[in-house]
């Protein structure tokens, strides 16, 4: 879930991270429904917030919106709500999420190993999410993943192309996500788009969006990364850099 900045194409300022050496993987990861299953807490918070306006939603109502900017979710679930009120409800969501949403998150199987995998090849992982930045850190901590990525390598309040701007800044060679917007982010960054089917979009939808590879989940990621790292290393030896998205 995101702030208003997530709907734009310009990333907010972040502390610069040191560039990785050529020929090593720098992998970006989405958060919600990619690294963690946060659906229960997101639904609980949305239900509480929208009920204040007499709008009642179910998990089935909220699931198709997984990974989208918060304002778009609120507007979609409460059609006819004024933009001003949508913004107020989004702010209310961010206020309630730490108590209603964070406790229910859990890391997906393989998430910790996936975050650790790039370092074994001399690279690093970054997390780039549409969720409000303070809540990204809270969710990583609640899921036991906060030690798997440096604080300065965590960015929130970004969606789709705006994520790509941040990914380009850190020299990402791949971006892993569950949403077609994550594929667009990878394209902006010139990175490989790795889809996972743990969110609301199946393999066919992710491939149609242009994903270069689709995995069933993060348990399959380290094996794929080994081949990606080998391609990067070979490209560096040839002087060709990273492989182009295909």
Beta carbons within 8 Å of 233's beta carbon, 6+ residues apart: 23, 24
User: Which 3-state string (H, E, C) describes 86-99?
Assistant: HHHHHHHHHHHHHH
Q: Mean pLDDT by 10-residue block, N- to C-terminus, for the chain (246 residues)?
A: 41 48 91 97 97 96 89 96 97 97 97 97 97 96 96 96 97 97 98 97 97 98 97 85 51
Same domain, 57 and 33: no
pTM, entire model: 0.89
Nearest to 131 by CA among 19, 27, 29: 29
Same domain, 223 and 208: yes
Q: Which residues span the domain enclosing 219?
A: 4-12+21-38+105-238
99 located within any domain: yes
Same domain, 206 and 97: no
Same domain, 211 and 227: yes
Helix (H, G, I), strand (E, B) or coil at 31: coil
Query: What's the CATH code of the domain at 57?
Result: 1.10.150
137 located within any domain: yes
Same domain, 53 and 124: no
Same domain, 98 and 126: no
CA torsion sign, 181 to 187 to 148 to 228? positive
Query: In the chain, how many H helices and how many E strands?
Result: 10, 8
Distance separating alpha carbons of residues 34 and 144, to the nearest angstrom: 15
Same domain, 30 and 129: yes
For residue range 30-50, what is the model confidence (pLDDT) as tens digits?
999 999 999 999 999 999 999
Same domain, 93 and 115: no
Domain boundary among 84, 104, 124: 104
pLDDT value, residue 239 = 77
121 located within any domain: yes
Beta carbons within 8 Å of 156's beta carbon, 6+ residues apart: 2, 3, 31, 128, 129, 130, 131, 132, 133, 134, 135, 136
For residue range 158-176, what is the model confidence (pLDDT) as tens digits?
999 999 999 999 999 999 9
206 located within any domain: yes
């Amino acid at each position: 879930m995101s702030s208003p900045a997530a709907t734009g194409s310009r990333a907010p300022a972040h502390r610069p991270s040191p560039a990785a050496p050529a020929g090593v993987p720098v992998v970006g990861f989405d958060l919600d429904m990619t690294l963690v299953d946060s659906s229960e807490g997101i639904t609980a918070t949305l239900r509480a917030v929208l009920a204040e306006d007499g709008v009642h939603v179910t998990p089935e109502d909220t699931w198709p919106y997984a990974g989208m900017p918060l304002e778009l979710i609120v507007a979609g679930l409460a059609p006819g709500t004024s933009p001003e009120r949508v913004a107020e409800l989004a702010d209310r969501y961010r206020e309630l999420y730490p108590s209603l949403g964070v406790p229910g998150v859990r890391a997906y199987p393989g998430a910790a190993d996936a975050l650790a995998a790039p370092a074994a090849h001399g690279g690093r992982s970054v997390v780039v999410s549409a969720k409000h930045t303070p809540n990204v850190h809270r969710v990583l901590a609640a899921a036991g993943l906060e030690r798997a990525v440096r604080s300065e390598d965590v960015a929130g309040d970004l969606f789709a192309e705006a994520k790509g701007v941040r990914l380009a800044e850190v020299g990402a060679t791949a971006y892993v996500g569950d949403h077609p917007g994550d594929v667009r982010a990878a394209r902006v960054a010139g990175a490989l788009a790795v889809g996972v089917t743990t969110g609301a979009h199946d393999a066919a939808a992710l491939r149609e969006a242009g994903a270069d590879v689709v995995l069933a989940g993060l348990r399959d990621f380290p094996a794929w990364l080994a081949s990606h790292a080998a391609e990067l290393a070979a490209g560096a030896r040839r002087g060709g850099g990273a492989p182009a998205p295909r």
